[in-house]
Structure 1
């Protein structure tokens, strides 16, 4: 992942996350990228052109796969501390074993996230989070 981080930075974007999914009996290796001001199609193409020949020599998964490079989107999952930190000021939905909460991310560090909710300020340790996703209120 560190090598992938470095490669993606060569295209003036940041690596957000990767995932391997199976859709319609196809394996897809997704690379999500971000940058200040948002990712555009040219950014995705640049990263794809850089990674494709490297992955031809050293594939990220075994067997046949399709490489997809995209933005994680406005409504995106949060899994790592850096995801929460980069989402400060945004709205989030968080599920834990004991509660479901919505609120604005006020702060985040390597261990926890602090939200402003309808009921007040709430800090949740990442270890207790089952699922988290940003959302846009229309």
Structure 2
């Protein structure tokens, strides 16, 4: 498979009430059949919902700080810290100061929130 460039202008932007995600690489953008890479930005005071993914994800903090409750354990992260979250483990992300992450995981990942149906978030596919 040849190398694939995904131009900044081809990045896909998705906003929710909790964060803004910018898809940097995914199968629907070409070049990758199995992985997704996206940037997540949260403003001060934002919190994401309690949810889990059926795949492992890697979160790396570029700016700011956050606390991610993984299962029941609060984990504080600052610039330069990386967190590997196993598949099937619940998590909730909160930031008092604002935070920007780079996140990577299998493109097949589906999220489940509050016992609901598993869905593929648009910033991953």
Tell me which protein shows more helix as a share of its residues: 1
Same-fold call, TM > 0.5? Answer: no
Report 1 or 2 for greater relative contact order, CA contacts < 8 Å, sequence distance ≥ 6: 2
TM bracket, shorter-chain basis:
0.3 to 0.5
Q: Which structure shows the higher strand fraction?
A: 2
Q: TM-score scaled to structure 2, two decimals?
A: 0.33
